[in-house]
Each structure stands twice: as C-alpha cells, then as structure tokens.
C-alpha cells in the first residue's frame, strides 16, 4: 500500500490534462456560454491581464524561454552517464504531471471557450450560406473600402503603408477599439492590458504565426516582425482571444470588427486588407473571372503593399514554417476544431452575416 499511494497520486495528476480535454469535448455549449465564456473565463483573463500588464515585456515569452532552457538543463543532468535511467524514471512523472496540470489549468481558464455557442448567436445573425451574388457585392464593396482607406494611410520611404504612430501606441489604440466595441456588445468589453510585442518575433515569423494568446498569463502577444500594416488587425485578433473568443474564424471576425471601428485609416486599412481577401477568395471559388476583375481594381498603393507582404512571406517560406502550421493545426484539432487551420477561413460566413444585418446587402436579416 505504501508504494501504491504515491503511484496513484502521480497517475491522478498526470490524468488531469486528458480529463480536461474530455470535459471540453462533452461540455454543454449553453452552459459554457453562460458560466465560462461570459463568466469565470473573462474574470480569470482580466485578473491575469492586470497582473501581467504591470510589466512591460511578455511574461509568456520569458516563461517559454525559461522552460526551454530548463528542459535543456534537465535533460542534460538526467542523461549523464551515471544512473541516468534511474534519474529519468524519477523525473518523468514530475514532468508529465507538470505538463498535464498546466494543460488542465489552461483548459479551465480559457480552453473551454472552444465549446461555447457559435458567436453568431451573440450578435443575433441569421444562419444562411453566402450566395455568389452576396459574395460578389461584398467583394466589390470591400475592395472599394480597401482603396479608400489606403489613400489616407502614411507611407515609409519605399512607399509602403506604415502605422500612424509607434507600435506600442498602435497596441493601445487596439485596446481602445475594444472599449468602443464593448459599448455595443458588452460581452466583448472589460478592462484588460494591451497586447505585447514579442522580442523574438522572427521566430514566430519562421513558424508562420502572427500572434499568440497565452491564457496562463492573460497576454495577447503579437509578432512585430510582420509588415506594419498587418499589426492593427493581428493585435485585435489576439485581443478577441483575450475576451474568450477561442475559435479562429470568430476571433478573425471580432478582430476585424474592432479594427474597422477605429477612426484611424491605418486600422481601417488593416481590417480591409483582411476582409477583402477573404471575400474575394470565397467569391473566386464560384466565379473566378468576376472575382479576378474586382481584385484587379486595387490601387497602385495597395499593390505596393501586396508586393512587400509577398517579399516578407518569401523570406520565411521554409520547412520550419510548414512545421509551425502543422503544430497549429494539431493544436486546433485537439480542441475539437475538425478542420484545423482551415477554420480561419470560415470567417467569410460571419462577414456576409454582418453585411446582411447592417443592410449592406439589402434588408437586414436577424434570427
């Protein structure tokens, strides 16, 4: 019995993470919506954000660096020649328990939000697949918005769009965007710290990642190695995660809605770049010639930015980037998102639903 109890203790600790995954898969969406997505997840996230926001750097980034170094030192000390297998047997349960408990806490604090109700219900949007005619009308509208916003954006010496101010100031404006959005949609409001720049952003670029929300610290972390015109939308996307919007297509939509609501042209342009591409790509699957013609109406300035974005992507088009996307895909699938990274593109349905509700495609439609 004296040997059984310690083993049982370790087994229970190691089982915490898998148990949390099972609980998430079978959680009732209505219960999650009320008690988690609009309840403790927001409270925990806001509390963590206030603590982590007191420091000017990313605690999540420092934690990851410390973890990597700690694992390296631990592996070296574990597998030294003398008694290495005995040390490995003693340390493996500790490592597995730490990973499992961390995963369970992340699931409890935020991961359950993958099982909340579809966010379209919170917005009151009707359920209907976009028609080719709707995609065409919205595609033309979004390209017009794209050109109009770009005309008011500042440029760097090479003629590429840039932010109107510094990156920290832009991140503060992104937080302000959610203050404004929360007035209309209270479930997206609250007091949170702004996003943080990742010092090792080139590593995120190498992995094909624009940002990461860490539910353990409440920090939206943004890759600042990208062209500046990506930053407003990317920051708002991570802030959407901070407000318990877990699914990627929904975070894309909420991030777009927040960014386009800012009066500043650099935010509107960043949002328009995202939305126009999503709609044009969807339209192109049904009417490629018409979509190509609409996309060709981009201004010369927008095309310069496209060239800059393509050049940036080409620098990081490596096997490492594909591996990073594979890891992200596996993470999303582990959280019940069956189509993995392809789920990012489902935002098209929400964009069209928004356009219907706002009367951009005729009479507003609601549930």
Q: How far apart are CA 151 and CA 215, in angstroms?
A: 38
Q: How many residues does the chain have?
A: 367
Residue 10 inside a domain? The answer is yes
Q: How many helices (H) and strands (E) does the chain have?
A: 17, 3
| Predicted local distance difference test score (pLDDT) of residue 226 | 97
Q: How far apart are CA 365 and CA 149, in angstroms?
A: 27
Structure tokens at 309: 């974005």
Structure tokens at 264: 């500043």
Residue 61 inside a domain? The answer is yes
| Predicted local distance difference test score (pLDDT) of residue 362 | 64
Judge if 29 and 67 occupy the same domain.
yes
Residue 362 inside a domain? The answer is no
Judge if 265 and 338 occupy the same domain.
yes
Judge if 172 and 33 occupy the same domain.
no
Nearest Cα neighbor of 313 from 205, 220, 218 is: 205
| Predicted local distance difference test score (pLDDT) of residue 337 | 63
Residue 223 inside a domain? The answer is yes
Structure tokens at 81: 């020649």
Q: How far apart are CA 257 and CA 254, in angstroms?
A: 5
CB 110 within 8 A of CB 32: no
DSSP E strands, the chain: 196-197, 211-214, 219-222
Q: Which of 115, 136, 169 is the last residue before a domain boundary?
A: 115
Q: Which of 52, 85, 115 is the last residue before a domain boundary?
A: 115
State the pTM of this model: 0.88
Nearest Cα neighbor of 220 from 251, 262, 264, 265 is: 251
Q: Please list the residues that pair with 213 across neighbouring strands.
A: 220
Number of domains the chain contains: 2
H or E element, residue 100: helix 84-109
> Strand, coil or helix: what is 363?
coil
Structure tokens at 260: 């386009």
Q: Which of 115, 144, 179 is the last residue before a domain boundary?
A: 115
Judge if 75 and 141 occupy the same domain.
no
- pLDDT in 10s for each residue of the chain, 367 residues: 556 556 677 677 777 878 888 888 888 999 999 999 999 999 999 999 999 999 989 999 998 888 778 767 666 665 555 566 666 666 677 778 888 888 888 888 899 999 999 999 999 998 788 999 999 999 999 999 999 999 999 999 999 999 999 999 999 999 999 999 999 999 999 889 999 999 999 999 998 899 999 999 999 999 999 999 999 999 999 999 999 999 999 999 999 999 999 999 999 999 999 999 999 999 999 999 999 999 999 999 999 999 999 999 999 887 766 666 676 667 567 666 665 555 556 899 999 999 999 988 865 444 4
CB 164 within 8 A of CB 287: no
Q: What is the DSSP letter of 153?
A: S
Which residue in the block uniquely carries the two structure tokens 């080719």? 132
| Predicted local distance difference test score (pLDDT) of residue 327 | 67
Q: What is the DSSP string of 218-273?
A: TEEEE-TTS-GGGHHHHHHHHHHHHTT--SHHHHHHHHHHHHHTSSSHHHHHHHHH
CB 279 within 8 A of CB 345: no
H or E element, residue 249: helix 248-260
H or E element, residue 291: helix 288-295
Judge if 57 and 188 occupy the same domain.
no
Residue 365 inside a domain? The answer is no
| Predicted local distance difference test score (pLDDT) of residue 86 | 65
Nearest Cα neighbor of 41 from 294, 198, 213 is: 213
Range of the domain at 180: 119-357
Strands 211-214 and 196-197: unpaired
> Strand, coil or helix: what is 246?
coil
Judge if 67 and 194 occupy the same domain.
no
| Predicted local distance difference test score (pLDDT) of residue 60 | 92
Which residue in the block uniquely carries the two structure tokens 């219907």? 356
CB 279 within 8 A of CB 346: no
Distances (CA, A) of 340 to 207, 212, 272, 281, 343: 16, 16, 24, 19, 6
Residue 156 inside a domain? The answer is yes
CB 226 within 8 A of CB 205: yes
Residue 364 inside a domain? The answer is no
């Amino acid at each position: 019995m004296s040997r059984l109890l310690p083993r049982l203790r370790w087994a229970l600790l190691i089982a915490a993470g898998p148990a949390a995954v099972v609980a998430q898969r079978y959680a009732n969406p209505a219960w999650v919506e009320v008690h988690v997505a609009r309840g403790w997840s927001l409270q925990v996230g806001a509390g963590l954000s206030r603590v982590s926001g007191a420091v000017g750097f990313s605690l999540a980034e420092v934690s990851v660096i410390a973890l990597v170094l700690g694992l390296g030192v631990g592996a070296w000390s574990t597998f030294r020649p003398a008694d290495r297998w005995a040390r490995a047997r003693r340390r493996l349960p500790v490592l597995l328990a730490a990973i499992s408990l961390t995963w369970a806490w992340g699931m409890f604090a935020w991961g359950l939000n993958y099982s909340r109700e579809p966010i379209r219900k919170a917005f009151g949007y009707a359920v209907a697949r976009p028609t080719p005619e709707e995609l065409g009308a919205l595609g033309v509208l979004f390209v017009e918005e794209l050109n109009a916003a770009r005309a008011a954006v500042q440029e760097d010496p090479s003629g590429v769009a840039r932010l109107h101010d510094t990156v920290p100031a832009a991140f503060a404006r992104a937080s302000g965007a959610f203050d404004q959005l929360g007035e209309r949609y209270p479930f997206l409001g609250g007091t949170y710290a702004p996003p943080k720049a990742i010092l090792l952003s080139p590593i995120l670029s190498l992995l094909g990642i624009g940002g990461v929300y860490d539910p353990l610290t409440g920090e939206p972390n943004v890759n600042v190695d990208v062209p500046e015109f990506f930053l407003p939308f990317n920051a708002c996307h991570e802030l959407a995660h901070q407000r318990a919007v877990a699914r990627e297509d929904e975070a894309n939509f909420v991030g777009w809605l927040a960014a386009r609501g800012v009066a500043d042209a650099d935010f509107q342009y960043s949002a328009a770049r995202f939305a126009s591409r999503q709609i044009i790509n969807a339209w192109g699957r049904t009417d490629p010639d018409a979509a190509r013609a609409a996309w060709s109406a981009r201004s010369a300035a927008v095309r310069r930015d496209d060239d800059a974005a393509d050049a940036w992507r080409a620098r990081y088009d490596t096997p490492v980037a594909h591996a990073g996307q594979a890891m992200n895909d596996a993470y999303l699938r582990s959280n019940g998102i069956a189509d993995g990274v392809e789920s990012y593109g489902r935002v098209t349905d929400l964009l069209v639903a928004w356009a219907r509700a706002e009367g951009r495609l005729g009479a507003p439609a609601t549930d």
